[in-house]
Structure formats: structure tokens, C-alpha cells
């Protein structure tokens, strides 16, 4: 009995030792099977192509012609001939001032002209008769001089009478207030029967619609950069070159309206440190209105070979911007860059890349300098819609 018990105890000990040995031998294999795999990321080459940088500035549309309508004669409004908010054409009658007083003044001036014409006719005949009698010695020279003086006075009277008729006729015409420009008319500021004072009372307003001005302010630093480029011949001055520009409205992601730069002011504003610029845009559809806000894009550089990458490929390291370059064997390294503006949906890289690198464009959260990744190569399109 005792011998059997010892045999069973020895067998148990041998089995336990074998189990411990097998467990020890299998642990490295299990650890090797659980080793982390290289993270999968999407990589691509930067887009390299000829580009032109655009600078954006905010501003508002203004009517090229904006006129407050005033009466040129004093009187009471007799009729209003326009509908508020409609488009009127140059020469359209807008309002009528009571004409009766001015018609009477015109009739009186015409009558005075007729009297002056009759007086001139009589003075002409008297002068001719006196000169004929003077030749025969039947009248003194002083009488001839008096007749000649009366003739000259009659001529002056008729000139004054004609001027009075012309003035009265103009006043009569001014009782019909006409549109001086073509554009959209505002609301009326008076009613029928209102008294208006000449050259004072504002009756309404007209703003032209096509074309439209876009006015914007350029900061001093940008202005100086443009002047430097003009001096070294890389970009012509906007004062002499009508650059094509693009405007983006407040409800648009991409601008659709193109215009031309047509004016740069002659001084910097001391209060804001900016200089005023202006562009002109076609508005045949009447969509644009004075006062609309927008963002204008103007050429900010000459054409050059640019390096473009997606914004999502750019990470940050404190106050620096970095991209992750994938080298041989999938090893990742960080590269500090200096980004520029957005063009064709990409970010311009001013410094830090040559354009030959392979960059991580998707999966930045899974990489850090020194790790090995499983790169999946893709090709970036030459341009894409702005996000």
C-alpha cells in the first residue's frame, strides 16, 4: 500500500512539472502573437503645379450712381408718377409740381418779350428816319444820337426779355421732376399736396444697378507687399493693371462673379491704417444691391510653382505646424512647415517641403515620429472643392 502511494505521488509531481515546463515554453510564442501591428494610414505625394496666390478682403457693394432727388423749384406736389421700388429710366417723369404759378410767369415773360420786340421795331424805324433826315440837313445831329441811344436801349430790353422767357420756361420744365439716371427708385419722402423747397427737400432716391462697385480696404502690410512686387517687376501695380477679381457673397462658399479692379486710393487712412480699393462688377440680372457684404479675392502674387497639401494632413506641435513624412520601411518622421493661403481646396506650403515627399494625409491620430506604419498610397486630384 505504501509503495503504491509513493508511485502515485511521483507521477503527479512529474505531470505538474511537465505542465509548468510547457507553460514556460509557450509564453514567448503567445506574447509574439499578441505584438501590435503597424497602423494603417493613407499617404500621398503633394500636388505640385503652377499657382497664383489670392488675397481676400471684405467689403460692400456700392451703386456707381446714387442720387437724392430734389425739386429745382418751390411748390406743392401735384402728382406722383412712380411706384416705390421700381426700376426707372433716365428721363422718366417722377413727380409734378403745381404748374399754374409758373405758367403765369411764363405767359407774363412772353408778353414782356413782345412789348420789347415792338419797342425795338419802333426804335429801328425812328433811327432810320433820323439818319435820312440828317443827310438832307433837316434834323440836328443830337436828335440822331438820341434815336440811336433809344435803339440800343430797345435792343438791350429785348435781350433781357428773352432771358426772362428762358428762365420762366426752365422753371416750367422743372415742375416736371425727371429721373436723372437709370436705376431702382426708393420710397417717396413726400405726399401729394406737400410743399417742397427748391434744392432742399429730398423727394426720393435712385441707385444705379448695372454695373456695381465693390469697395474694400487693404491693410498697410499687404499694400507694401504689392508695391514691392511692382518695383521688382514680379507683379504689376493695380493702379495701372485692371486685374480680374472674384467676389464671394455671404451665402456662398465659392465665388461665382468676376470683375475688374478699377481704382486704388491716393492715401492711407490714418485711423484704420488701410487704403481704399475698388472693383467693378456686371449686374445684368439685378441680383446685387448697394450695401451687400462680400469677400473679394485679388491676385496676391505672380504665377509660380507651388506645393499644395490638404489641411487634414497638417498637425500641430505647440505653436508650429508639422506634417508627417513616411520614409523607407514605413518609418514616420515629423517635418515643420510654414503654411500659406488656400488655393483650389488645398493649403499652400511656403517652406518645409520640396514636393517629392510622401505624406500622411489620413490617420494622423495613429502616427507619431519614429513609429512604423502600413502606408496605403493614394493620388491627390489637381484641385478639389473648398471645404
- Tell me: the pLDDT tens digits for 315-363? 888 788 999 999 888 898 999 999 988 888 889 998 889 888 899 988 8
Which of the residue ranges 33-37, 60-64, 151-155, 190-194 would you say has the lowest mean pLDDT? 33-37
pLDDT value of residue 135? 72
Q: How far is CA 280 from the centre of its chain?
A: 8
- Backbone φ and ψ for 44, nearest 5 degrees, come out as -160, 160
Which comes out higher in pLDDT, residue 238 or 190? Answer: 190
Position 138 pLDDT exceeds 80 = no
Position 62 pLDDT exceeds 90 = yes
**CATH of 99-174 among 1.20.1530, 1.10.287, 1.10.3480, 1.20.120:** 1.10.287
Q: 54-64+210-299 adopts what CATH topology?
A: Elongation Factor Tu (Ef-tu); domain 3 (2.40.30)
Position 129 pLDDT exceeds 90 = no
Position 12 pLDDT exceeds 60 = no
**What distances in angstroms separate CA 348 from CA 44, 244, 376, one per listed residue?**
16, 21, 23
Confidence of residue 5 (pLDDT cuts 50, 70, 90): very low
Which of the residue ranges 16-20, 105-109, 367-371 would you say has the lowest mean pLDDT? 16-20
Annotated domain spans of the chain: 40-49+305-377, 54-64+210-299, 67-97+175-207, 99-174
**Using an 8 Å Cβ cutoff, are 113 and 210 in contact?**
no
The number of residues in the chain equals: 387
pLDDT value of residue 239? 81
Confidence of residue 298 (pLDDT cuts 50, 70, 90): confident
Position 6 pLDDT exceeds 80 = no
Around Cβ 290, how many Cβ atoms within 10 Å?
A: 17
**By percentage, how much of the chain surpasses pLDDT 90?**
37
Grid coordinates given for 180: 436723372
pLDDT digits (tens, 9 = 90+) for 248-264: 998 888 888 999 998 99
- Distance of alpha carbon 175 from alpha carbon 102, whole angstroms: 8
- Distance of alpha carbon 86 from alpha carbon 71, whole angstroms: 20
Position 302 pLDDT exceeds 90 = no
Question: Would the CATH topology of 40-49+305-377 be identical to that of 99-174?
Answer: no
**By percentage, how much of the chain surpasses pLDDT 70?**
89
Per-position DSSP letters for 325-352, written without gaps between them: EE-GGGBEEEEEEEEEEEETTEEEEEES
pLDDT value of residue 28? 53
Position 4 pLDDT exceeds 60 = no
Angle CA 276–279–285, to nearest 5: 140
- Distance of alpha carbon 317 from alpha carbon 352, whole angstroms: 15
pLDDT value of residue 195? 92
Query: Residues 64, 68, 69, 73: is their CA dihedral positive or negative?
Result: negative
Own/partner pairs, 31-36, CB within 8 angstroms, 24+ separation? none
- Distance of alpha carbon 147 from alpha carbon 107, whole angstroms: 30
pLDDT value of residue 147? 78
pLDDT digits (tens, 9 = 90+) for 195-230: 999 989 999 999 999 899 999 999 998 889 888 888
Per-position DSSP letters for 356-379, written without gaps between them: ---EEEE-GGG--TT-B-EEEE--
Architecture per CATH, domain 67-97+175-207, reads as: Beta Barrel (2.40)
pLDDT value of residue 76? 94
pLDDT value of residue 22? 47
- Distance of alpha carbon 150 from alpha carbon 127, whole angstroms: 8
Position 2 pLDDT exceeds 80 = no
pLDDT value of residue 182? 92
Architecture per CATH, domain 40-49+305-377, reads as: Beta Barrel (2.40)
Position 13 pLDDT exceeds 70 = no
Answer yes or no: pTM beyond 0.75: no
- Share the mean pLDDT of the chain: 84
Position 30 pLDDT exceeds 80 = no
Amino acid at each position: 500500500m505504501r509503495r503504491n502511494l509513493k508511485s502515485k505521488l511521483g507521477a503527479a509531481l512529474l505531470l505538474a512539472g511537465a505542465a509548468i515546463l510547457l507553460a514556460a515554453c509557450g509564453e514567448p510564442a503567445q506574447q509574439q502573437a499578441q505584438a501590435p501591428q503597424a497602423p494603417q494610414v493613407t499617404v500621398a505625394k503633394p500636388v505640385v503645379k503652377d499657382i497664383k496666390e489670392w488675397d481676400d478682403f471684405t467689403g460692400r457693394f456700392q451703386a456707381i450712381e446714387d442720387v437724392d432727388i430734389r425739386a429745382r423749384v418751390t411748390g406743392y406736389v401735384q402728382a406722383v408718377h412712380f411706384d416705390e421700388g421700381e426700376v426707372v429710366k433716365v428721363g422718366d417723369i417722377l413727380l409734378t409740381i403745381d404748374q399754374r404759378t409758373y405758367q403765369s410767369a411764363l405767359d407774363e415773360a412772353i408778353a414782356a418779350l413782345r412789348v420789347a420786340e415792338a419797342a425795338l421795331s419802333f426804335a429801328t424805324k425812328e433811327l432810320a428816319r433820323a439818319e435820312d433826315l440828317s443827310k438832307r440837313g433837316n434834323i440836328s445831329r443830337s436828335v440822331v444820337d438820341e434815336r440811336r441811344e433809344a435803339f440800343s436801349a430797345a435792343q438791350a430790353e429785348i435781350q433781357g426779355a428773352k432771358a426772362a422767357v428762358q428762365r420762366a420756361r426752365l422753371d416750367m420744365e422743372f415742375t416736371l421732376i425727371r429721373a436723372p439716371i437709370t436705376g431702382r427708385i426708393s420710397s417717396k419722402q413726400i405726399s401729394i399736396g406737400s410743399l417742397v423747397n427748391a434744392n432742399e427737400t429730398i423727394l426720393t432716391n435712385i441707385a444705379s444697378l448695372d454695373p456695381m462697385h465693390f469697395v474694400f480696404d487693404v491693410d498697410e502690410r499687404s499694400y507694401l507687399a504689392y508695391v514691392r512686387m511692382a518695383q521688382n517687376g514680379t507683379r504689376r501695380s493695380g493702379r495701372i493693371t485692371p486685374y480680374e477679381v472674384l467676389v464671394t457673397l455671404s451665402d456662398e462658399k465659392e465665388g461665382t462673379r468676376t470683375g475688374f479692379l478699377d481704382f486704388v486710393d491716393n492715401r492711407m487712412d490714418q485711423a484704420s491704417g488701410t487704403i481704399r480699393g475698388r472693383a467693378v462688377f456686371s449686374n445684368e440680372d439685378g441680383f446685387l444691391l448697394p450695401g451687400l457684404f462680400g469677400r473679394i479675392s485679388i491676385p496676391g502674387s505672380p504665377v509660380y510653382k507651388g506645393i499644395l497639401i490638404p489641411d487634414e494632413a497638417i498637425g500641430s506641435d505647440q505653436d508650429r505646424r508639422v506634417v508627417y513624412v513616411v520614409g523607407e520601411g514605413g518609418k514616420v518622421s515629423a517635418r515643420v512647415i510654414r503654411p500659406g493661403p488656400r488655393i483650389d481646396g488645398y493649403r499652400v506650403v511656403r517652406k518645409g517641403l520640396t514636393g517629392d515627399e510622401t505624406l500622411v494625409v489620413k490617420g494622423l491620430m495613429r502616427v507619431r515620429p519614429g513609429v512604423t506604419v502600413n502606408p496605403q498610397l493614394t493620388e491627390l486630384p489637381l484641385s478639389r472643392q473648398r471645404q
